[in-house]
Amino acid sequence: MRSVRVRAAVVVATAAAAAGTAVPAQAAPAQAAPAHSAAHGEQRGKLLSSRPLHNAAALPSAAVNRTVTYTSEGVGGKRITVSGTVSVPKGKAPRGGWPVLSWAHGTTGTADICAPSADTADGPAHDYLSITEQYLDKWVAQGFAVVQTDYEGLGTPGGHPYMNGVSEANTVLDIVRAARRTDRRIGRDWFVAGHSQGGQAALYTAAVRSKRGDVRLRGAVSIAPGSQMSQIAAYVQAQYPGAEAALPFLFVLLNGAQAARPSIVPEALLTEQAGALVKAGRTSACLAQLRQLGKTLPLSQVFRPGADLTPFVDYLRSQEATGLNLTVPTLVAQGAADKEVSPAATQAIVADLCKRYGSIAYRSFDGADHRGSIHASFEESLRFVRDLRAGRTPGSTC
């Protein structure tokens, strides 16, 4: 019985490993497709469009909020158009310009309506995004220009390669370049912070070695980084107790894998009923809607008999945040009460990263669950960033 309980616990932990939870209500995307699409020869970080932002994604403490589109590099090295937001603090910028916090968001889904820049008070991802918007408002109130990418394929043409670390890191970096073109008061020094899916993205960003000197990454904050994605399919297929919790994430992961590797075709692996749900995840359903839709789907009716999951699982395994070579001081924050990303999984990532880079700090927050770790870690993250800006070396747990 104990082994069954362990399997069930791992299901719950891995099912939401990259999650930032989303919620109900239907909402039309607030952001239209950009008039200017990125051409292959355009330099990364080029600003394509900029306009005032007035929806829920606008940060109340900012002097200016804008929604932007810009060029970046997607999966396979293709040039892409990405959307996001830029929020500039009130007051006079310090010498060298406003420092930048580039935020990597947690799981919202793979449909365009799940893009954070399109968030509204009754939007399908607002339950999660309302928390991150409050968190980001704290940063802008502390004198940081806050930028947030939607990632590749969320709110812009193409599929969203969910949990693809390199694609995420590129879009997180390039929005900093684009933001500096919207306001000359935005400086070149920047920090990356992210939660869950974005925690994994922050670690990949911390491993980037940019040859351009136009912006300078100073440090990274990774909150409850998503991990163990490759285990979800096996638990669902084996129908372990608690595997129902994995279904919405399985559908998001399948769509993300197909966006990155078109040879992975979800419908070829799934039954007709499950295939309808994965299709909804591409067009009209965020995470919460997939959770509701999946309640009537028996675990025995998810995968086709004999479905070969090897390419899908191998791809997910290749996106784990292990084996990375970090380049900047990094803070990893974890809620001790997190049941979606287990503390043990995050500690294993830190132990692996410490083998190749010694300036990593791990902080645990008692009583904080998965979403609670965002606000619980704010003061520690702010102190970490301020130390780096002042030339002080944060303590390491490696």
DSSP string computed for 216-238: EEEEEEEES----GGGHHHHHHH
Given a contact cutoff of 8 angstroms between Cβ atoms, the answer to whether 345 and 17 are in contact is: yes
Q: What is the pLDDT of residue 340?
A: 85
Q: What is the pLDDT of residue 290?
A: 93
3-class DSSP state for residue 30? coil
Residue 396 corresponds to which tokens in the numbers above?
């390491």
**What's the burial of 163, exposed, middle or buried (CB within 10 Å: 0-12/13-18/19+)?**
buried
User: How many angstroms separate the CA atoms of 223 and 334, rounded?
Assistant: 6
Report pTM.
Answer: 0.90
Domain residues of the chain, as ranges? 1-398
Q: What is the pLDDT of residue 38?
A: 61
Q: What is the pLDDT of residue 192?
A: 98
Q: What is the pLDDT of residue 246?
A: 82
**Start-end of H helices in 144-283:** 165-182, 197-206, 232-238, 247-260, 266-269, 272-283
Given a contact cutoff of 8 angstroms between Cβ atoms, the answer to whether 31 and 83 are in contact is: yes
User: Which architecture, in CATH terms, is 1-398?
Assistant: 3-Layer(aba) Sandwich (3.40)
Q: What is the pLDDT of residue 22?
A: 31
37 DSSP 8-state letter? P
Q: What is the pLDDT of residue 34?
A: 36
Q: At what angle do helices 310-318 and 247-260 cross, to 10 degrees?
A: 80
Q: What is the pLDDT of residue 14?
A: 40
- Across the beta sheet with 216-223, the strand order is 47-52, 62-73, 79-89, 145-149, 98-104, 186-195, 216-223, 330-335, 360-365
pLDDT tens-place values along the chain, 398 residues long: 333 333 333 333 444 343 333 322 323 333 333 334 565 657 999 999 999 999 999 999 999 999 999 999 999 999 999 999 999 999 999 999 999 999 999 999 999 999 999 999 999 999 999 999 999 999 999 999 999 999 999 999 999 999 999 999 999 999 999 999 999 999 999 999 999 999 999 999 999 988 888 999 999 999 999 999 999 999 899 988 878 888 899 999 999 999 999 999 999 999 999 999 999 999 999 999 999 999 999 999 999 999 999 999 999 999 999 999 999 999 999 999 998 899 999 999 999 999 999 999 999 999 999 999 999 999 999 999 999 999 999 999 99
Q: What is the pLDDT of residue 91?
A: 97
In which element (H, E) is residue 86 found? strand 79-89
User: How many angstroms separate the CA atoms of 33 and 4, rounded?
Assistant: 48
Rounded to 5 degrees, what are φ and ψ at 251? Answer: -65, -40
Residue carrying the six token digits 């996106």: 319
User: How many angstroms separate the CA atoms of 14 and 227, rounded?
Assistant: 7
